[in-house]
A = this chain, B = another copy of it.
């Protein structure tokens, strides 16, 4: 059985990342890693679903045990990806998606050069602005902050392996699966198979 692939998945806000992931996760050979955090659950968030909600002491204990693949602190809280959320699943042939922002992705790039880096982009910044307006949940000011953040994140797109434009959801999801499949067919990924075929002739 082939091992699963660690997939780093980043997208600026408004790129339809959540909808894409929901579609992708219908395929049982994929799962999203659940992060651990010391912040309190917000309304509607459940432990073990959105995050593992743990105490500062627990977080620091796990840090001392080298249990995290990566971690960071934001606004007085810790956030981290537990290795136990990743490696046991890869061993079982499951592809594990880390949904993280660009800075975290760059850290993982150094730690796990074997990971696949996929960036989801909007068709254009204007389209992103239009989508955020359409949601109607944020003020003009917040929308412009998000647009500026997206613009900043887009400057990291060239540090990824693949860039998928989420224009039509179905196409973007199919592009994602194409990328993962193609990666299983690279000569590097197939080298063991090639050796076997030649040897067992």
A residues with CB within 8 A of B? 119, 121-122, 124-126, 147, 151, 154-155, 157-165, 175, 177-179, 181-183, 185-187, 190-191, 193-194, 197-198, 200-201
If over half of A's interface residues share one DSSP class (helix, strand or loop), that class is named, otherwise mixed; here it is helix
Closest 4 CB pairs of A and B: A182-B182, A125-B201, A163-B190, A178-B181
On chain B, the residues within 8 Å of A190 by CB distance are: 157, 162-163
Q: Are A178 and B187 in contact (CB under 8 A)?
A: no
Copies of the protein in its oligomer: 2
Smallest CB–CB gap between A60 and chain B, Å?
A: 37
Q: Are B185 and A179 in contact (CB under 8 A)?
A: yes
Q: Are A175 and B185 in contact (CB under 8 A)?
A: yes
Give A59 to B159 CA distance when docked, in angstroms: 47
Give A157 to B181 CA distance when docked, in angstroms: 18
Beyond A119-B187, A179-B181, 13 additional pairs, beta carbon < 8 A: A121-B197, A124-B200, A125-B200, A155-B198, A157-B190, A161-B186, A162-B190, A163-B193, A165-B193, A178-B179, A178-B182, A178-B185, A181-B182
